[in-house]
Amino acid sequence: MTLSEIRRQISDGAIESALDAALDYAEKSGVSAAVNSITALQARLAQTRQLWNTGQLDFENYTREHARITHGALAALDLLPQTPTPKAASRMIREDRFKARLLWMLLVGKFLVLGRLSYHWSTGGFNDEQGWACMGILAPTLAGYLYIVLDDYLRAHKNPETTVRYVSGPLVRMVWILIPGYILALVFLMEKKVMPPHLSFMQMTAGFALVESVLGGYVSRVVSAFFRI
């Protein structure tokens, strides 16, 4: 059974069978944190139903406890890889670590691009008008990423989340390829402007627009997904 099928069972109210399937999935994946969490949820569910059946729990408290168990089950599923194998689980990374690495990659990459622009600007590869125009294209995206990251940090500092989440291996690999490719494409366009065969300034800015709209669009989607706004 897949994770989406287990989530569908939970949304349909079949929490007991969903927990059984989730436990089997977690054991196959070798994720001990999820196994422990799901096992505890099964015990809570059994105890809650016993109290309900013996009349020791009113409907309001039963509903509240059932909702908590459901929320806990969904949180446990977030700990599991998309493929139920120990190898897939070993490729997962904690979301907080992933976000920190993503942030540093963006900052280092963007400052590398701006650094190369400053170098070529100072050595005459770009005149003042061209340098300021490039700065106007590149700086706003960096400022936009920093705003999203700062907003997410302030929210997390005010309302810390105790749930540990993980990011799947395929997404991590995609980001490790996407962001360096995005940065290298911007640097390549600048280098082609100052080195033969030269690109015209108009061709370079058109290339910037293409890179920002395609690769930059994917980067923005990843950033906005993990750094909540």
Looking at the fold, whether 46 and 107 belong to one and the same domain comes out as no
Domain boundary among 90, 106, 137: 90
Domain boundary among 58, 90, 122: 90
Looking at the fold, whether 207 and 118 belong to one and the same domain comes out as yes
d(CA 15, CA 130): 61
Q: What is the pLDDT of residue 185?
A: 92
d(CA 56, CA 189): 71
Looking at the fold, whether 103 and 82 belong to one and the same domain comes out as no
Looking at the fold, whether 20 and 52 belong to one and the same domain comes out as yes
d(CA 185, CA 149): 23
Across-strand partners of 204? Answer: none
- The verdict on whether omega for the bond into residue 84 sits within 30 degrees of 0, i.e. cis, is no
DSSP H helices, 78-168, are 86-90, 95-122, 128-158
% of the chain with per-residue pLDDT over 70: 89
Q: For 40-61, what is each residue's pLDDT tens digit?
A: 898 889 888 888 888 888 888 8
Range of the domain at 114: 93-226
d(CA 72, CA 33): 13
Q: What is the pLDDT of residue 161?
A: 59
pTM over 0.85: no
| Band of residue 94 on the pLDDT scale cut at 50, 70, 90 | confident
Q: For 113-134, what is each residue's pLDDT tens digit?
A: 989 999 999 998 899 999 999 8
Q: How many domains does the chain have?
A: 2
Looking at the fold, whether 79 and 115 belong to one and the same domain comes out as no
